[in-house]
Amino acid sequence: MDANHIRFTSAITFRESLLKIPQKYSALSFSFHSDKKKNFRNQSLNSQTRRFCKLGSASTENFDEAAFEAERLRLDSKARESMAEKAEREREISNDSEDDPKSWKWTIRKRIWDMMEAENIAQNPRPVHHRIPNFVGAAAAAKNLGGLEVFRVANCVKVNPDSPQKQVRFLTLSGGKKLLTPQPRLRTGFFSVLEAQKLSPNTINEACTSVGVAKYGKPIGLDEKIKVDLIVIGSVAVDPRTGARLGKGEGFAELEYGMLRYMGAIDDNTPVVTSGLESCW
């Protein structure tokens, strides 16, 4: 599907179509791009946030993988608990207004997460609630994505750090491309860059994980001069007719997009691709 034929639009446009979820599912992928200019103002970056950009990559000799992963999992669990509480509050506040997007977005997310768990069409990490769900068929979807012309010709690909897009990160590096991936929840910095030629065949698979990015990636700041040819993001729900999508509700995909626009790394013509389970579309 031609990326120029689908617009990245407001999720409001597909509320009705996603409130009815079909039972059939399979892996697929599609692409879309934004037709709206994003601005990311320098004033919004405080000094503490900018200091994260100064951090160098971890030394592989001194890097404590177990401690890093334990802390990441602890903070991720805390973030999911916080989002679950926020979702419940917003549903309660919005019960009297069917048109409130905060309410129906969480209704759609919960319905999909519940369905994936009930039908056992999810892979670890589980439960999938408040995550970009790692769906059965994620590797097949990555293969479909890898067959898109926009992926084949890309030199630098920005890919989200979630589990269902791990194979996309692998295809990016094993294909000799440059991988740009955000720090998980932007806690320790903004983005890290990994270059295939600087990795051995034995370390490419590890480099596709959060631990591997911390070990082998080069953290970059918002003043980095880089050109991103393709953006890959994860989704909880997608409308293939419009390109509208819902993430897990924390807003990182939008923030990361804004940061890349601020950096001059992307523009209106940069294609954006997502992969997901067909029954969530």
3-state DSSP call for residue 66? helix
- Closest by CA to 150, choosing from 269, 265, 26, is 269
Q: Could you tell me which residues come within 8 angstroms of residue 187 by beta carbon, excluding any fewer than 6 positions away?
A: 75
Residue of higher predicted confidence among 10 and 97: 97
pLDDT of 237 above 80:
yes
- Buried b / exposed e along 78-110 (16+ C-beta atoms within 10 A): ebbeebeeebeebbeebeeeeeeebbbbbbbbb
As a 3-state breakdown, the chain gives helix, strand, coil percent values, each rounded to 5, of: 45, 15, 40
d(CA 196, CA 200): 8
Residue-wise pLDDT for 187-214, tens only, equals 666 899 999 999 998 999 999 999 999 8
Residue-wise pLDDT for 48-69, tens only, equals 333 333 334 445 667 788 887 7
DSSP H helices, 13-64, are 15-18, 47-52
> How many CA atoms within 13 Å lie on the side-chain side of 204?
19
pLDDT of 41 above 80:
no
Which residue segments constitute the domains of the chain, with CATH numbers given? 3-76+132-280 (3.40.50)
DSSP 229-244: -EEEEE-SEE-TTT--
Lowest-pLDDT choice from 87-91, 166-170, 242-246: 87-91
- Closest by CA to 235, choosing from 260, 210, 252, is 252
State the Cα angle at 142 between 259 and 125, rounded to 5°. Answer: 80
